[in-house]
Chain A
């Protein structure tokens, strides 16, 4: 009877170990799967021409991803530009200034923002942001715009990464020891001075790492961006241009690609690029965040 208990324990250990390793291997599996699928296009074209050619003619077999890469960069940059200041300020207020009551109201609101699905933001973007840009913002810059622009996608994406950024920032700011703040306050510094000179300065690596994390999140966002970005192939020249980020490209063409092996392969290559960039960004920022977490504790 005793034996069976021990055997159970050992068996459980083996199974759990296997599950854990399998789960870790998922990262590798994704990489390999996508790589194998993008082999045909990689054999056919040079990596350079895939990444930096602007010619996108799937029917002719030309796959230049440059417009899409630029679209992704534009949209992501826009999103972070908008979300970063709002998130930092809100996070500072919540950690350094606010009373518990304020937090009780703000946290559920952030919960909601974080919980809403991508497609809902897409609907909101189509109904609110796109018309607003078309009618009120764009006329100041260009003669006519449908509103489906880099700016629209940037705003929608920005809103989507705000809750992520705020929660990461709050975690980082609250890791700064109270003694440090008190030391500064005791010298006659105001709250803001303390925040600026002590809290922010001490957490710069954390802030950067979190921002990189948010960048990688923004880059992969699909449906919401797809709905408001305009999906016009071309390198955007400004925030009033339509754009076509990589995730939107993949999602929009998943049906057609089946008929053409090389096209399918090219789209899988697009997914691979996305995966590789996100993977690298994530690895770097997570490792930085882990380190920081350790030294603080």
Chain B
């Protein structure tokens, strides 16, 4: 472990990006919904140069999300966008669709690439494959346990990123499910009213306590987990395993909450970096988060200690 692990968060505006960096983020994920999936807000192409410069000025890296699945009609915008973000100094583009790879080779050959295929990034052989295609980082699925994460890191030369905190996307459709349902029950619904900040959630009859946030945007319908993962207490194990980057998902959370989360993770990461042997978990890191935690949403270890069957 020669280098400090990264603390990464998505930001929806330049100002928010700066506040997150001040709170402890060492890297930010930015972009717009034309190219990236489930961003907390759009930083448009015209603002990209300034955004990246400001992140760099504060000592943080800036990654741009280009991780949507693209349609034919959207492809012509890719070369220009990739060139623009490369010229603006982006530290990497995050992709899931191989169309981005093909375009990056031509339009932005120097741009680093992070492979993020969401729930389908599950093993080291796939990571190695995308590595040979040019990716320098694999973003792992949230549905992996600790042993799997550690084994993937052992078996790959790529950087490994895991989500450490926040909700996770558990279902993504290109159908407009909210709009369709509102129509079906005879309510007027408009796409602008269906966005992420409207507090909509689904509850299943047998699990009424599990509230699954749902929202719709230009890319389709997104259902999110009922719990917020919080791997703060597991950081030493993940750091020992060599995880390179810890992602904080800020989606559907107040900025103040995300800032507190960043501060706690920053404290933990700094303490570990200073002296792994002397590292001791401090309960107040977690207490600070708990104080702002939505009481309807449990903090959990996600799949970190789970056995899944199939």
Partners in one complex: no
Which residues of B line the A interface, CB within 8 A?
none
Name A residues whose Cβ lies closer than 8 Å to a Cβ of B: none
